[in-house]
Amino acid sequence: MEHFCPLEYTLNFIKSKWVILIIRELSFGTCRFNELEKRISGISQKVLTSNLRFLEENNLIKRKVYPVVPPKVEYSLTDLGESLKPILDQMSEWGTKNCKK
């Protein structure tokens, strides 16, 4: 029987810096793909797309597609995604306290 580790379970969802940065940006409100791409320095379209897909598949974000031309797609946090905000806030506080100025 495998041992369940809550920390390991949590890390499965925030497994990369890109996931954390996407959640950070969406914590400020709904964004379109291009807005996320501009706000997250260094992320490629391919990496952003795959991470958005991962977050959507794991019910951390929702994707809303509008029936217009050109296509309009918006991303926002689900309640589950919102529940990660305190963890990100604590990570930010830790970074503020411990970064060398």
Q: Per-domain residue ranges for the chain?
A: 6-93
Whether domain 6-93 has CATH 1.20.1050.40: the reply is no
Whole-number pLDDT of residue 1: 57
Distance (Å, whole) CA 46 – CA 72:
18
Indicate the pLDDT class of residue 13, thresholds 50, 70 and 90.
Answer: confident
Residue 28 above 60 pLDDT? yes
Whole-number pLDDT of residue 8: 86
Whole-number pLDDT of residue 99: 86
Distance (Å, whole) CA 51 – CA 16:
9
Closest to 60 (Cα-Cα) out of 4, 14, 6, 11: 14
Q: Are 42 and 54 within 8 A, CB to CB? A: no
pLDDT in tens, 54-66: 999 999 999 999 9
